[in-house]
Structure 1
Amino acid sequence: MAEPGQLIRSLSGRPAARNFHSFVINEIGMGVASGAFPVGSTLPGDAEMIDRYEVSRTVLREAIKTLEAKGLVEARAKVGTRVLARNRWNLFDRQVLFWIFHATPEPGFTDSLCEVRAGLEMQAVTLAASRRQAEQMRMMRYWLAQAHVSAAMVESHGLAVFEIHRLMAEASQNPILRSATGLVEFALAMALRGQMQAGVTDFAAEKTAAYEALITAIDKGDGAGASAVMAGILSADRGWIR
């Protein structure tokens, strides 16, 4: 199971799985997301997969069950394990998003992501402005300072910015918004990767002032002001993603 922040931590290279079970899930999941195992195709049989990944039948079958739960495959007796259409994949699952990110998502997917992210985050900051707590505001300012001092380190900077967004979702006191931060992390990672590819070395320069204004607006209870600033942040990220 991917953890919050794992996608941003992987910007310098995809980390190795921690055990055989994770290894098999990641290898097959990446194969599906990248098209190495195309939609509609049937995965190789157990014997071939066991030999390929050097794991037991039990580990392989547990991995397939996990992938079924994520909507990537469907196992049927006497038929085999079929790769399901993308509209069956659980796109709120952090691990599925991790695989899509490293397989290079299609432009249509990133456009859809930006649309959904905008709805989620605009709502989150509006609610946060009326429901925030003092400790949440203190931590937002702490992570803003961390984002500034780590401006030259893409992963540390990215994690600090992600914590600001996560705290905003937390401050909204809406459990559904809190559960959707995997999509936010995906978008942040995409924007950071775009900056890396463009040769950016100061990742804080473009948006530090905007985040300062955003946190101030939330602290003052100014939902409209917070929404206006967030719209600018989303626009900047969308440019790097595209």
Structure 2
Amino acid sequence: MEQGKDRSLVSKVMDGLVTGIVEEKYGAILPPQDVLSKEFDVSRTVMREALSMLLARHMLDVRPKVGTRIRSMRDWRMIDEDVVNWRFRAKPDPVFMRDVIEFRMLIEPRAAAQAAARASVSEVAGIREAFDVFKTIAPGEPGYEAADELLHTRIVHASGNQFFQQMAAIIRGALTTVNPMVNQKPGAWEISVRTHARMVEAIERRDPKEAEAAALALIDFTADEIGREFSIEMPGRK
């Protein structure tokens, strides 16, 4: 019981440290461990464990005579789902949003195509089920984000590609970040529903090319809106 309590406390401290980091509370260098221990009202053992977890995720760097340096978010180990969630907490910047769109363009269209080719009958049914829920919930209503994330996650998992599957957390984080910006546009939800329907129907028909094209169309629409939001040039189809 005590060991479980310590793990929970370490997780809580990690979460608090990350909040301070993404909100730029600490600057470039974290305070000494004893100072942080007092701030979070935990033992040095708990604080040391929390810091070691962040070190393992390439978020911190310990240097002699310097202390614990906060590493650039570019260095964070994004394959780790916790790190993904923490990274998406930070205020998005133009370069980060460009990288998010480029990542989605690389992964999601291929995942949709492979889902059309490889998904089992039950996986296709699960994708249809997720879409049928998604299309009934408008942006801003309870459950919208969860429904959108579930649909995209099921498509990625149905691709059968274990590396794509490991990237599902990044896609979920991307959706959470971009949707509030994109959904501000009049008619955006209707376009989104139509394009998602096109992708799902292509997967059901076992049409990889059409599934890929629909996924690209969906991301292209998002890229256009994000590009306008940040006044930057977004990647597009060649």
TM (norm. structure 2) is 0.83
Hey, what does 1:21 align to over in structure 2? 10
Work out whether residues 113 and 211 of structure 2, in 8 Å CA contact, stay in contact via their aligned partners in 1: yes
Amino acid at match of 2:160: Q
Hey, what does 2:22 align to over in structure 1? 33
The residue matched to 2:135 in structure 1 has which SS?
helix
Hey, what does 1:172 align to over in structure 2? 159
Check if 1:95 corresponds to 2:82. Answer: yes
Using the alignment, how far apart are the partners of 1:85 and 1:157 within structure 2?
32
Match 1:61 to one of 28, 43, 48: 48
Match 2:33 to one of 19, 29, 46: 46
Work out whether residues 191 and 238 of structure 1, in 8 Å CA contact, stay in contact via their aligned partners in 2: no
Which whole-Å deviations, capped at 9, do the CAs of 1:120-164 have from their partners, x for residues lacking one?
A: 011111111110111111111111111122225445122112112
Match 2:208 to one of 205, 208, 223: 223
Hey, what does 1:6 align to over in structure 2? none
The residue matched to 1:82 in structure 2 has which SS?
strand
If asked which structure has higher relative contact order (CA below 8 Å, sep 6+), I would say: 1
Amino acid at match of 1:21: V
Check if 1:205 corresponds to 2:194. Answer: no
* Number of equivalent positions: 221
Match 1:140 to one of 127, 144, 147: 127
Moved more, 46-55 or 28-37: 28-37
Alignment of 1:121-132 (within 5 A): 121-132=108-119
Using the alignment, how far apart are the partners of 1:99 and 1:105 within structure 2?
12
TM (norm. structure 1) is 0.82
Using the alignment, how far apart are the partners of 2:142 and 2:48 within structure 1?
34
Using the alignment, how far apart are the partners of 2:47 and 2:85 within structure 1?
20
Q: Percent identity between the aligned chains?
A: 24
Using the alignment, how far apart are the partners of 1:171 and 1:61 within structure 2?
40
- CA change 1:227–1:122 in 2 (3 A) is same
Residue 239 of structure 1 deviates from its aligned partner by 3.6
Residue 58 of structure 1 deviates from its aligned partner by 1.3
- CA change 1:155–1:22 in 2 (3 A) is farther
Which whole-Å deviations, capped at 9, do the CAs of 1:58-84 have from their partners, x for residues lacking one?
A: 110110011011111023566532222
- CA change 1:106–1:66 in 2 (3 A) is same
Moved more, 179-188 or 83-92: 83-92
Gaps of 5+ in 1: 1-17
Gaps of 5+ in 2: 1-6, 230-238
Work out whether residues 29 and 96 of structure 1, in 8 Å CA contact, stay in contact via their aligned partners in 2: no
- CA change 1:172–1:23 in 2 (3 A) is same
The residue matched to 2:191 in structure 1 has which SS?
coil
Hey, what does 1:238 align to over in structure 2? 223
